[in-house]
């Protein structure tokens, strides 16, 4: 096909570029576009859009912008693709600039354009800006979609601004935009989080009247709300009735129920829920809140037996399970028992992560076993997980409680030499800790050092 007698045309090249993008060979796709330019062939807008989309997904935004600027006639899909890539990669100012340039280029923004920006401003908690875009959208005769409204409602609910979310929900209906199941679920969950169960149930009634049957998300939100308000019996009635309504509770629903029961210190019903869930590797997530609650109760023998039961059921404990166990042991200053469980975890081939190591270091410091805390730090280095700022701050706190000013200075030097700069938490822990143990001169000395470093 590349012989002198039979050169590929633009269409052939475009097919090749799109195939390369689909298979993740973006560099070859880009070089093929460059080859087309040398042959004085111009890719169609669809091909450009595919390349820009692939570059954005690969987080190569600067390269995507370069392609955009070489396009003869980008369309609204091109703008939306690049706009979405800029937003997802935190380049919101550039996204706004691109949006502002659309009309000058003769491109009318679509509902996707507006919704993309509305969504990113909601994630930044800039709800007034998001709402302003919604109004601008309507004023330009681009009817806001259910997704546009739901983005703002979801953002408001996540930030516990449920009254504003409900107001927008009513405004949405007046504008002739019919809420969907996602909108109802979002608002029901927001009301449940604010413990406004009566309103949530009223909204559920409205939802059913509008031909939307509750799904697992709806039931899970209500169960969470009932548990939070200590209406445990009602939560169980709803949980057990899900299957009868053709909506059997899944792992997420079980996890929410177990977590909330443990927070309310209801260990027995929580264990009952865990036991009744089918044994499978994924069920390990159900046990983490159980271990947290056993830790709060100092039920370490029971926790050890539960680890054995898990293994027999075919639900292997993971690093998160053990970390919850370590946390309880550390809080009760059971350092050496934590170390034995740590060794047992290693024997089972479970590798600790940074969180597990930091929990162990904190527990040993609480138990006044600096030797063991430092041993954990050596383990971290050997496993390729060098101590992070949390590790160092924990050790700084321990030295402060003991008033060991010289040791603090050495630790700060070690931190900096290993590329870990003290942060606000470091200095706050250090200064407050030294003041508490009466080391006033040392506290002022470190405070001045912190201020000199900005």
* Residue 367, phi then psi, degrees to nearest 5: -85, 5
Euclidean distance between CA atoms 258 and 265, whole angstroms: 10
- Domain positions in the chain are 1-109, 278-387, 391-454
Candidates 1.10.569.10, 3.40.1190.20, 1.25.40.10, 3.40.228.10; CATH matching 1-109: 1.25.40.10
The span from the CA of 223 to the CA of 237, in Å, is 9
Q: How many residues does the chain have?
A: 454
| CB proximity list for 233: less than 8 A, separation 6 or greater | none
User: CA torsion 223→225→226→230, rounded to 10°?
Assistant: 130
Enumerate residue ranges in the chain where pLDDT < 70. 1-7, 454
- Which two structure tokens, joined as six digits, stand for 48? 């450009």
Identify the CATH number of the domain defined by range 278-387: 1.25.40.10
Alpha helices in 194-316 (DSSP H): 197-209, 216-228, 232-241, 251-263, 267-276, 287-296, 300-313
Provide the pLDDT for residue 1: 42
- Name the residue among 391, 385, 390, 388 with its Cα closest to residue 373: 391
The two domains 1-109 and 278-387 share their CATH topology (first three levels equal): yes
For the chain, first and last CA: distance in Å? 64
The count of other CB atoms within 10 Å of the CB of residue 15 is 12
Confidence (pLDDT) at 454 = 66
Question: What is the 3-state secondary structure of 281-345?
Answer: HHHHHHHHHHHHHHHHCCCHHHHHHHHHHHHHHCCCCCHHHHHHHHHHHHHCCCHHHHHHHHHHH
Structure tokens at 46: 């669809």
In whole angstroms, what is the distance from residue 259 CA to residue 263 CA?
6
- Residues 86, 98: contact at Cβ < 8 Å? yes
The per-residue pLDDT for range 326-370, each reduced to its tens digit, is 999 999 999 999 999 999 999 999 999 999 999 999 999 999 999
CA distance 381 to 429: 24
Q: Please, are residues 348 and 318 in contact by the beta-carbon 8 Å criterion?
A: no
pLDDT digits (tens, 9 = 90+) for 96-133: 999 999 989 999 999 999 999 999 999 999 999 999 99
- Minimal CA–CA distance to 388: which of 363, 348, 435, 355? 355
């Amino acid at each position: 096909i590349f012989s002198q007698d039979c050169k590929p045309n633009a269409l052939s090249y475009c097919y090749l570029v799109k195939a390369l993008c689909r298979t993740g060979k973006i560099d070859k796709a880009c070089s093929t576009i460059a080859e087309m330019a040398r042959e004085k062939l111009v890719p169609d807008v669809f091909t450009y859009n595919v390349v820009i989309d692939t570059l954005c997904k690969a987080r190569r935004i600067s390269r995507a912008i370069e392609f955009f600027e070489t396009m003869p006639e980008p369309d609204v899909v091109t703008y939306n693709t690049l706009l979405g890539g800029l937003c997802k990669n935190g380049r919101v100012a550039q996204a706004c600039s691109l949006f502002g340039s659309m009309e000058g280029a003769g491109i009318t923004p679509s509902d996707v354009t507006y919704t993309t920006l509305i969504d990113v401003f909601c994630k930044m908690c800039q709800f007034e800006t998001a709402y302003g875009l919604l109004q601008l959208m309507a004023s330009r005769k681009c009817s806001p979609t259910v997704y546009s409204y739901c983005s703002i409602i979801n953002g408001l609910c996540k930030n516990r601004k449920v009254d504003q979310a409900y107001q927008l929900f009513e405004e949405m209906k007046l504008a002739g935009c019919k809420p969907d199941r996602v909108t109802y679920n979002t608002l029901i969950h927001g009301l449940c989080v604010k413990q406004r169960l009566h309103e949530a149930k009223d909204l559920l009634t409205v939802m059913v009247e509008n031909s939307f049957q509750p799904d697992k998300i709806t039931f899970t939100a209500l169960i969470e709300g009932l548990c939070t308000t200590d209406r445990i019996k009602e939560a169980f009635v709803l949980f057990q009735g899900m299957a009868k309504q053709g909506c059997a509770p899944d792992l997420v629903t079980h996890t929410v129920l177990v977590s909330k029961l443990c927070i309310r210190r209801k260990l027995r019903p929580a264990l009952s829920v865990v036991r009744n869930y089918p044994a499978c590797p994924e069920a390990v997530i159900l046990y983490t809140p159980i271990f947290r609650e056993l830790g709060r109760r100092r039920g370490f023998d029971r926790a050890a037996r539960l680890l054995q039961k898990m293994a027999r059921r075919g639900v292997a404990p993971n690093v998160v399970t053990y970390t919850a166990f370590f946390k309880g042991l550390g809080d009760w200053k059971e350092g050496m028992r934590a170390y034995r469980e740590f060794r047992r975890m290693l024997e089972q081939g479970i590798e600790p992560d940074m969180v597990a190591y930091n929990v162990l270091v904190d527990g040993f410091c609480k138990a006044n076993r600096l030797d063991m805390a430092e041993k954990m730090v050596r383990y971290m280095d050997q496993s390729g997980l060098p101590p992070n700022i949390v590790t160092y701050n924990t050790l700084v706190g321990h030295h402060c409680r003991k008033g060991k000013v010289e040791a603090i200075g050495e630790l700060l030097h070690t931190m900096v030499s290993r590329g870990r700069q003290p942060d606000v938490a470091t200095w706050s822990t250090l200064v407050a800790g030294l003041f508490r143990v009466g080391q006033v001169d040392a506290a002022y000395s470190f405070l001045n050092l912190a201020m000199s470093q900005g």
